[in-house]
Amino acid sequence: MTSAFSPLSPLPPDALLGLMTAFREDDRAEKFDLGVGVYKDDQGNTPVMSAVAKAEALMLQRQTTKVYEGPRGNVDFCNAIEDFVFGVDAPVRKEGRTLSFTAPGGCGALSLGVGLMRRLGVKKVWVSDPTWPNHPKVVQSAGLTTDSYRYADPDTGTADRAGMLEDLAKAERGDGVIVQGPCHNPTGIDLTLDDWRAVGAFVKERGLIVMLDVAYHGFAHGLDKDIAGVRAFIDAAGEALISYSCSKNFGLYRERAGCFLAVGETADGIAAATTHVADISRATWSMPPAHGAGIVATILGDAALRAEWEAELTSMRERMISLRQALSGELVQRTGSNLLASLTTQNGMFSQLPVTPEGAKALREESGLYMPGSGRINIAGLNLKDIPRVAEIIATAL
């Protein structure tokens, strides 16, 4: 029988989401989920953060309407994220050279940024190799093409600034580039402050349009230190688009709390860009969602809740750092490879092991150790008691 849907052939399931389902359905007693990037505590749970639960209770008490908030969504939320990204007293804000919009998660913010790039005439967007698989997807579904730049040096486990700039030198004036902020996904390898300045000066000179993707603010060294690279880049480049996600640092995954921001050399340019971002947002989701952004605004607008959230964020970060150290120590001891010592210099939830897609499949099938084919591991999915066994499985495979 013919059908309007006949031209479609089925796509393979999204690799990460498929991994999540396979883990849930695996009934072996011994299994380890180092797949999807979700923070977990020692019991393997992802509880609602206590500052979030309190903010939600307050919101329920105070809420009098569900009427639309307007094109920018929650303006207090937008201003709070501008405080994070640009700084409370940043002159660019007083000069009207910034914009911010609430978006459905970091991915919604990325979509706004790619939509704006398109209106700026961008045809191709460069992403790091490797990167979060959704980066090329978002770009390509907007009808733009992608290319990639070297980012990580596999021999040292650190950033490859020379390779990055050599590849970006092939970009044409007016091309777009996505650069990840702190806690690169999937490698955990971050640019140094010096790298950020150099990349900023380079893209300015070459006329490239950069979007910084900040999805793990506070997971590397702390809120202030983690944003220093982004600010150094903006100082050097003068202009940037920024997507900011609150999924991880506020544990708001399903609430889709994100913010799209931009900073430009002229107030006129930003005023025009604001009308375009509003237009893209209107055509895509009409009005942004309120709940997640409301939670963040409530927490950041209340000194006690903010202190409580910062303390929770600190303990999450410290837990991930201690897991990294423990895993790295065990792996170095078992493999004798010093490369695995670099796990401790990497940041956030992820690091990438030298595992092939077939190797990752074998680890899953034979040992119940779940990781995507890229060899990325979610450090936050570990706990101290499992580390010797996980290290034994990985060391045998390596």
Contacts of 123 (CB under 8 A, 6+ apart): 144, 145, 174, 175
- Binding residues for ligand LMR, total number by CB under 6 A: 6
In the complex, the smallest distance separating the C-beta of residue 218 from ligand LMR, rounded to whole angstroms, is: 16
- Assess contact for 6 and 364: CB atoms under 8 A: no
Strands 376-378 and 350-352: antiparallel
In the complex, the smallest distance separating the C-beta of residue 338 from ligand LMR, rounded to whole angstroms, is: 27
Which one from 226, 248, 257, 380 is the annotated catalytic residue? 248
Alpha helices by DSSP H, listed for 179-222, are 193-206
Give the Cα separation of 249 and 218 in Å (integer): 7
The binding track of 133-152 with respect to ligand LMR, each residue x by CB under 6 A or -, is -x------------------
Between 71 and 133, whose beta carbon lies closer to ligand LMR?
133
In the complex, the smallest distance separating the C-beta of residue 126 from ligand LMR, rounded to whole angstroms, is: 20
- Scored b (16 or more CB within 10 A) or e, 180-189 reads bbbbbbbbbb
Between 132 and 202, whose beta carbon lies closer to ligand LMR?
132
- Assess contact for 249 and 376: CB atoms under 8 A: no
Between 106 and 264, whose beta carbon lies closer to ligand LMR?
106
Instruction: Tell me if 16 contacts ligand LMR by CB under 6 A.
Output: yes
Tell me, yes or no, if 213 is annotated catalytic: yes
Instruction: Tell me if 37 contacts ligand LMR by CB under 6 A.
Output: yes
In a 13 Å sphere around the CA of 114, the CA atoms on its Cβ side amount to: 28
Which one from 160, 167, 175, 213 is the annotated catalytic residue? 213
Give the Cα separation of 381 and 327 in Å (integer): 12
Structure tokens at 368: 């119940």
Tell me, yes or no, if 215 is annotated catalytic: yes
Give the Cα separation of 40 and 59 in Å (integer): 26
In the complex, the smallest distance separating the C-beta of residue 386 from ligand LMR, rounded to whole angstroms, is: 19
In a 13 Å sphere around the CA of 290, the CA atoms on its Cβ side amount to: 12
Which one from 132, 171, 175, 290 is the annotated catalytic residue? 132
* Residue of the chain from 128, 131, 180, 185 that contacts ligand LMR (CB under 6 A): 185
Structure tokens at 68: 């639309």
* Residue of the chain from 22, 36, 90, 287 that contacts ligand LMR (CB under 6 A): 36
* Residue of the chain from 32, 39, 132, 196 that contacts ligand LMR (CB under 6 A): 132
List of residues contacting ligand LMR (CB under 6 A): 16, 36-37, 132, 134, 185
Catalytic residue IDs? 132, 213, 215, 248
